[in-house]
């Protein structure tokens, strides 16, 4: 909810929306984090002006969250939101210094990304039955495209026919911050995409997405999540079964088969190599297994 004492939130959110081109989901996260922090400033410190907010005040908010059992990962995200907010105030000249300089983010234990084994993905496409109707055809092609490209759920749902380059066997993806990247696909998959486009039922006016329902409407994130989870549950026992797990599987299988880390970074649309490096851990674990089985002194 709006905080009258701090009108600086709205210009900052406009900056993220119109200049940084952040998604609606990301904007809501920033807004919630900032409003939560500034409400704390109102209740605990009688709404000090931005220039009077100190690192000690910020730490008291972080300490309260820790006492409430908020995870280190969530606290880190909130710290990141504050850093961006105060950095913007410096940029616009509203502040001369930021209270975030001495704030240290809590350490987060790195969890290896879950992924579906390559043999299980093979089983899914070879033996798992999909219905013969438009829905079954859409579901199978969506899962195949997730696994073949590593796209995010939002990227796939918004994918348009114009982004499919049949002649070059590649797909143009619009990712976070409206950044475009090109992902190559196999001739076989491109053939399936081409056939899908040719056979599409009549679309509702204004709908130009690649994937649609049999009623001509765009797919909804919730329904995609549901059918991906249902299909993966038939071939794997891993705890998480979501479109993002297919993205992890795409990257992990590329790395395990010798792909260059920088190439995987570009395919995933990561802005920094650090985000891609989590997939090297799985490669190392695989190498350890090979060593154990193959080396006489292991």
- What are the catalytic residues? 152, 176, 244, 247, 270, 279
Distance CA 72, CA 77 (A): 9
C-beta of residue 139 within 8 angstroms of C-beta of residue 226:
no
CA 287 to chain centre: 28
- Where are the alpha helices (H) located in the chain, listed in sequence order? 9-14, 24-45, 55-67, 72-92, 118-127, 134-149, 153-157, 187-198, 221-232, 243-256, 261-268, 273-276, 278-294
Contacts 24+ apart (CB under 8 A), 41-44: 41/6, 42/3, 42/5
CA 111 to chain centre: 16
């Amino acid at each position: 909810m709006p905080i009258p004492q701090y009108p600086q939130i709205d210009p900052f959110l406009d900056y993220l929306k119109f200049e940084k081109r952040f998604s609606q989901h990301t904007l809501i996260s920033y807004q919630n984090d900032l409003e939560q922090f500034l409400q704390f400033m109102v209740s605990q410190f009688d709404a000090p002006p931005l220039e009077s907010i100190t690192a000690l005040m910020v730490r008291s908010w972080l300490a309260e969250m820790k006492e409430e059992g908020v995870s280190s990962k969530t606290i880190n995200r909130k710290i990141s939101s504050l850093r961006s907010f105060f950095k913007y105030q410096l940029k616009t000249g509203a502040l001369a210094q930021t209270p975030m300089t001495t704030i240290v983010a809590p350490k987060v234990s790195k969890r290896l990304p879950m992924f579906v084994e390559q043999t299980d993905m093979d089983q899914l496409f070879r033996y798992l039955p999909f219905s013969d109707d438009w829905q079954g055809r859409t579901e199978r092609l969506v899962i195949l495209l997730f696994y073949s490209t590593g796209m995010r759920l939002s990227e796939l749902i918004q994918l348009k026919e114009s982004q499919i380059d049949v002649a070059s066997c590649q797909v143009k993806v619009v990712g976070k911050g409206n950044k475009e990247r090109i992902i190559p696909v196999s001739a076989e998959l491109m053939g399936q995409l081409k056939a899908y486009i040719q056979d599409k039922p009549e679309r509702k006016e204004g709908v130009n997405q690649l994937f649609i329902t049999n009623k001509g409407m765009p797919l909804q994130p919730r329904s995609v999540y549901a059918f991906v989870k249902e299909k993966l549950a038939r071939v794997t026992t891993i705890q998480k079964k979501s479109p993002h797990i297919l993205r992890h599987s795409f990257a992990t299988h590329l790395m395990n088969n010798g792909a260059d880390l920088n190439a995987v970074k570009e395919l995933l649309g990561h802005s920094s190599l650090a985000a891609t490096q989590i997939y090297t851990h799985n490669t190392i674990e695989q190498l350890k297994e090979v060593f154990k089985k193959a080396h006489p002194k292991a």
